[in-house]
Amino acid sequence: MKKIVLLLFCMLTALCVQAETVSSPNGNVIVNFQLNEKGIATYAVSYKGKEVIKPSTMGLSLDKVNFTNGLKLIKSNTSTFDETWEPVWGEVKHIRNHYNELVVTLEHIADGYQLDVRFRVYNDGIGFRYEPRSGNANFPLTYHTVMKEHTEFQLTDNHTAFWIPGAYDSNEFAYQTTKLTDIHALKCDKSAIGTNHIVGDKTIQTPVMLKSDDGLYINIFEAALIDYPAMLLDVETHNGYSLTSHLVPGTTNAVAYMQEPSSTPWRTIIVSDKATDILASKMILNLNEPCAIENTDFIKPQKYIGIWWEMHVPNHSSWDYASISGIRLKEMNWEKVKPHGRHGATTENTKRYIDFAAKHGFDAVLIEGWNVGWEEWSGLWKEDVFDFVTPYPDFDLDVVSQYAQEKGVKLIMHHETSGSATNYERRMSDAIALMKKYGYDAVKTGYVGRIIPRGEHHDGQWMVQHYQRVIEKMAQNNIMLNAHEPVRPTGLHRTYPNLLACEAARGNEFNAWSVGNQPEHETILPFTRLMGGPMDYTPGIFQQKMDHYQAGNPCQVHTTLTKQLALYVTMYSPLQMAADLPENYERFIDAFQFIKDVAVDWDDTRILEAEPGDYITIARKEKNSDTWFVGAITDENRRTATIDLSFLDNGMYKATIYKDGRDAHWKENPQSYQIEQKMVKRTNTLKIKLAAGGGCAIKLEKL
C-alpha cells in the first residue's frame, strides 16, 4: 500500500518536465535549469545566443541520500544583487558585484531530503553550488558525508584546451594546448617534483581554459573552496565533449565530511567572445564572502628579495647546513655539527641582503633555510622534520632582526612543512610566538612532499581545511601569508586578504633546474591558475642562462630579460619578489630600475591585448598615484605589441620604455635590451616589437 501511495505521489509531482531560466544583468548570459521526467536535474548556459554548455547533469551523492535522480522541484526563487566593494588590495579600486540569482529547491522524493542549487549569473559568467538540507527527511542531515559529486560541463564542440594533468598533490605542471580529444595527461612531463602523481590519462586540473572554433573563450573553475576537496575534471570525448567533476579523495571512501548548513564551492564558468574579458573578470572574487578580518591595517602589498634563488641556481648555496642524516630534532646538538660551508642563510649573507633591500627600497627579505632540519627535509615522509623555532648555529636571529629593524627592512619568516601538516599544526603556536618576538609580520609556508596525515592529499578536504586554519590563525596574529605548494587559490583573498599570494602552479624556479617553463607559460597562467588569485611566481631573473654558474648547464629561463620586467605587470600579485641575486641586479642596474619603480597595488587595470598561449598586454594605474605601468609579453613568437594609450588622463606623460634589443631572443640573446624615454599622451598608440620569448615594460609618469 505504501508503495502505491509513493508512486502516485511521484506521478503527481515529478512526471512533467520543469524548467527555470535566469539571465545575466545585461542579458548576454542565460542559464536554463531543467528537471526531467525522471527527476534528473540539468543546466545549460548560453552567451549572446550561442550555446556554451549543453544540458548537463548536476547532482551530489551523500551517505544519506543520492541527489542524482528522483528529485522534484519544490520551489524556485530569483533575486538581483548589485553592490560595489573595495578590496583591501587589488587590480582595481572598486569591484562591482552584480548578478541575478536563481535558487531551485529540489526534494528527493523517496527520502524528503532537499537540495538547493544556487545559480548566480553575471555578465561575465555563472557560478552555481549545491546546498544539501534536511528538508522533510525523517533523519536530519546535520552531519553527512559526500561520496561523489556529479557535475557535468557538456561542451558544444572539440574546443582547444589549455590544461595541466589532474593530480591530487601538485599543480606544478607545464601547460598543454590541445583539442579536447587530444588530451593525454599521462604523456605529460613530471619533471623534478616528487608528489605529482598523475591521476589518469583523461583527468585534468581546474581551472581549465577553453577556446572554441567560433570564437568563445570559456574558463571552468571553482570559487570559495572551503571545507571541501578541490575539483578536477574527467574528460570524455566519445559521446560529445564533456567534463565531469572529480573530487580529490581522502583516506576513506568518502570525499568530504560536512556539517549542515553546508554548501559546496561554486562551480564557475566564465565566458566571453573576447579573451581580455576573461582576464578582467572579477567573478571568482565576487563569489567569495566579504572580508572577514576586522582590522586589515597589518596587510601591506610589498616587494621583497630573498635568500632563495641562490639555492636554485647550480653551484651556489644550500638550504641545509651540514651533510648529516638520521636527525632526531629532540636529540640534536647543532653546535657540535660540522657545517659543510655552503649554507645560504647565514647571518652575514642575510645582512648583505638586508643592505641591498635597504639600498634599493625593498620592503622585506625572505630567508629560507634559517631553521634546522633541512638536511632531511624532503622525500622521506618524516613527521618531525622541522620545529620552526630553532635557527642553525650560523644564523643569529637576534642580530639579523635587530639589523633589519635598523635598516627599515622587514624579514619574512619561512615555514617549510615538508608536507607534514600535523607537525606544523602542533608547533604553529610556538612558531608564531617566535615571529612575534622578532617582529616578523609575514610568513611563506611550504608543503613540498607527501602529506602527513599519511594518505591525505595536498588538495583533499583535510588539507584544504588545514590551509584555511593557517590562514585564519595567521590573520588572528596579524600575519600575512604566502603559501607554496597549497591547493590552488579560488578567490579566498577577498575574505582573507592576509593571504597575499600562493604558489600552486609551476613557478619561475623550474627554469633553474628542469626543462623549464616554455615561453608561452606566462601567457597561459593568467587565464588559468591566476583566475583564483595572485601567484608568487618570483619574476625578475636577469641571469637567464644557468651556464653562467656552471659550465655546460643547459637550464635557463625561457624569456628575455625585458619579459621578466613585464611579468611584474602581467602576473598580478600584491607580493612580488625580485628573485635574482643582488649581484645580477648590480650588473643591469638600469633595467633593475623598473623593478624598483613598479607598483604592487593598483587603482585601475586595463587588459589591452590578450590571447591565451600567445600574448598579453596589460596597463595598470598605481594605487593613489597618476603613474601607469604597462607590461607586454609574447610567447616563442616575435610580435608587435599595440598599446593604445587612451587609458591615460589628458596631459603629457613621460614614458620610460624597457624593451627587447633588436637582436634579443629568449634563447640566443636574452640579455639584449634597450631603455628609451619619450613623451606621450592619451591619443598616442605605441607599437613595440617584442622578441621571441620577449616582452616590454613601460612606466608612464604624469608630468
Nearest distance from residue 382's CB to a copy of itself, in Å? 6
328 burial via Cβ count (<10 Å: 0-12, 13-18, 19+): exposed
Q: Which residues in 65-96 are b (16+ Cβ under 10 Å) and which e?
A: bbbbbbbbbeebeeeeeeeeeebbbbbbbebe
Minimum distance from CB of 257 to a copy of itself (Å)? 6
Q: Applying CB under 8 A, does 140 fall inside the site for a copy of itself?
A: yes
Which CB atom, from 331 or from 335, has the smaller least distance to a copy of itself?
Answer: 331
Asked if residue 438 binds a copy of itself (CB under 8 A), the reply is no
Distance CA 263, CA 254 (A): 16
Give least dist CB 453 to a copy of itself, A.
3
Among 315, 429, 646, 685, contact with a copy of itself (rule: CB under 8 A): 429
Q: Which residues contact 639 (CB under 8 A, 6 or more apart)?
A: 614, 615, 689, 690
CB of 196 to a copy of itself, least distance (A): 18
Task: Return the bridge partners of 513, or none.
Answer: none
Question: What stretch of H or E contains 342?
Answer: none
Closest to a copy of itself by CB, 463 vs 555, is 463
Residue from 508, 488, 527 nearest 613 by CA = 527
Q: Which stretch binds a copy of itself (CB under 8 A): 322-330, 332-340, 361-369, 488-496?
A: 322-330
For position 455 contacting a copy of itself by CB under 8 A, the verdict is yes
What track of x and - describes contact with a copy of itself for positions 590 through 629 (by CB under 8 A)?
----------------------------------------
C-beta closer to a copy of itself: residue 228 or 257: 257
Closest to a copy of itself by CB, 178 vs 252, is: 252
Q: Terminal CA-to-CA distance of the chain, rounded, Å?
A: 86
Q: Does 550 bind a copy of itself (CB under 8 A)?
A: no
Cβ 550 to a copy of itself shortest distance, Å:
27
Catalytic residue among 20, 503, 509, 520: 509
> Nearest CA to 420 among 394, 382, 455?
382
Our finding on whether 9 is near a copy of itself (CB under 8 A) is: no
Q: Which of 604, 622, 605, 573 is nearest to 301 (CA)?
A: 573
Of 250 and 265, the one with the shorter C-beta distance to a copy of itself is 250
**85 lies in the binding site for a copy of itself (CB under 8 A):** no
- The residues, ordered by sequence, that sit 6+ positions from 99 with a Cβ below 8 Å of its Cβ are 24, 25, 80, 81, 120, 121, 122, 286
8 Å CB contact between 459 and 229: yes
Site string for a copy of itself, 240-279 (x = CB under 8 A): ----------xxx----x-xxx------------------
Contact between 290 and a copy of itself by CB under 8 A: the answer reads no
Query: By C-beta, is 89 or 257 nearer to a copy of itself?
Result: 257
- Residue 644 binding a copy of itself, by CB under 8 A: no
Give, as one character, the DSSP assignment of residue 545: B
Nearest to 696 by CA among 649, 652, 656: 656
Is 222 noted as a catalytic residue in this protein?
Answer: no
β-sheet bridge partners, residue 391: 371
CA atoms of 561 and 597, how far apart (whole Å): 16
Binding positions for a copy of itself, 461-520, rule CB under 8 A = 462, 465, 469
Angle between helices 397-406 and 421-438 (to 10 degrees): 50
Footprint on residues 325-384 left by a copy of itself (CB under 8 A): 325-326, 328, 376, 380-383
Give 144 or 529: the residue with its C-beta nearer to a copy of itself: 144
158 versus 390: smaller Cβ distance to a copy of itself: 390
SS3 of 402-447 = HHHHHCCCEEEEEEECCCEHHHHHHHHHHHHHHHHHHCCCEEEEEC
Active site residues: 509
List contacts with a copy of itself (CB under 8 A).
140, 142-143, 250-252, 257, 259-261, 325-326, 328, 376, 380-383, 422, 425-426, 428-430, 453-456, 462, 465, 469
